Amino acid sequence: MSALAPLLDQAQRLGLALAIGFLVGVERGWKQRDEGEGERAAGLRTFALSGLLGGVTALLAPLGGGGVAIALTLSFCIAFLAFQLREASVESDNSATSAIAGLVVFGLGAYAVAGDPLIAASAGVAVTTILAFKQSLHAWLRAITWSEARSALLILVATFIVLPFLPEGAVDPWGLIDLRALWMLTIAIATASFGGYVALRVLGDRMGVAVGALVGGLVSSTAVTLDLARRVQSGEVTATTAGAGASLAACMSVGRIMVISALMSFDLFARLWPSLLAAAVTLIVGAGLLALSRSTNKSHSTFASVHNPLDLISVARFAGVLGLLTVLANIASRTLGQRGLNAFAASAGLVDVDAVTLAIGRLVTDGLPTAHAVEAIGLALICNQLFKLAAIAISGSAAFAWRFGSVVLAAAGAASITLILVAGA
């Protein structure tokens, strides 16, 4: 049995090489299924055999000192590219996708035999997926703007170029400023916000208010709420519909706090999640009840007030705000105790509850009692919702304000009751 093990392993690897070529060939052949026999340079059989040939080439490499493998590789590349060039000239097709796909299949077939089969299989699936989603990828490229593409590059630069050069630990004598931790948190929040923004841009006008509020809430629940107030005033949506949308956006805000607390401190997350979950469920139920009672409204939302959250100025502003709030929270906690921390959370929560959660979460890792942090974060969240209600009321949308306020009040009650029950357990 031990003597057959190497042969079985080679047979399995050759089978994987054939399977990779077959998988890509199915995708290529399906797209060219309307062409007649002999009208396409490479289809299912050609790609399947290309993968198998790559595997055979890798098997022969140790036997021929590399010369046979080089000869087979060059022969395949020349022959395959020659037929692809001939097909392109006949059909006036400038796409190099099939040619590159053939070379990749040959290479993956060889790697399946000589390297890690799992990586080869994963790469084969990835190649097929990229080929299959051609239309969707092109539509996505047409949908995004240069500023959005630049934002994605900014994330990569911040993560792989700036972050490695930042020092670890506090950079000041008082232990208030940790640049590396601050930058990592900035990248995490900016990436999540940008992901929500991209989802909102890609889905666009096909979304209803409810789905738009959920996705927009990943970027800024406050922006979504204020935009809904504007649309209520213009008659685009009813106050009931807006109340449902704002409740869902608030639910996403609560969800963000839950994720941030989990990233900052397990103890903080353990204390917060039951109350936050109760609040989130109540917000969803309230939004559902409002949705069931609303009048027919077929409007869609792109939330014009939600802008790209990841330009250079926005990232610098968020990092600055987060750094400032972190220092202020630390100073308030050290000098004024719990009362000072609560005053800080209440005032700063009007600006950005995420940054407040991050700042207080940092204090927990430095020794702040978890109970104090829970109280301050809860106060920041409440003040943030009160700010939204005040802004809605000032805009003149009283009907929207009391509907949204009723749901928020119920969510706050559910969170408070859950907190008391958990603390008494």
pLDDT in tens, 381-406: 888 888 788 878 877 678 888 899 89
Neighbours of 157 (CB within 10 A): 12
- Of residues 23 and 208, the one with the higher pLDDT is 23
Helices (H) and strands (E) in the chain, counts: 16, 0
Residue 87: what pLDDT?
A: 72
**What number is the average pLDDT over the span 56-72?**
81
C-alpha–C-alpha distance, residues 294 and 214, integer Å: 18
Q: How confident is the model at residue 297 (pLDDT cuts 50, 70, 90)?
A: very low
Least confident of 6-15, 28-37, 138-147, 334-343: 28-37
Rounded Cα distance between 148 and 159, Å, is: 17
Work out the pLDDT band at 172, boundaries 50, 70, 90: low
Mean per-residue pLDDT, 259-286: 87
Please report which helix (H) or strand (E) contains residue 39, including its range. none
Question: How confident is the model over 325-360, as pLDDT tens digits?
Answer: 666 666 665 666 667 777 777 777 766 677 778 778
How far apart CA 272 and CA 265 sit, in angstroms, is 11
Percent of the chain with pLDDT over 70: 67
Written as one string, the DSSP assignment of 323-386 is HHHHHHHHHHHHHHHHHHHHHHHHHHTTT-HHHHHHHHHHHHHTT--HHHHHHHHHHHHHHHHH
pLDDT beyond 70 at 193: no
Pick the most confident of 35-39, 84-88, 166-170, 252-256: 252-256
pLDDT of 298 > 60? The answer is no
Measured distance CA(74)–CA(67) in Å, rounded: 11
Q: What is the pLDDT of residues 128-153, one digit of tens each?
A: 888 888 776 666 667 667 766 777 77
Please tell me which of 25-39, 68-82, 99-113, 152-166 the model is most confident about, judged by mean pLDDT: 99-113
Mean pLDDT of the chain: 76
Region 69-80 average pLDDT = 86
Residues 6+ apart with CB under 8 A from 249: 213, 214, 216, 217, 221, 224, 225
Cβ atoms within 10 Å of 103's Cβ, excluding its own:
18
User: What is the rounded distance in angstroms from the CA atom of residue 331 to the CA atom of residue 341?
Assistant: 9
Look at residue 296 in the predicted model and tell me its pLDDT: 41
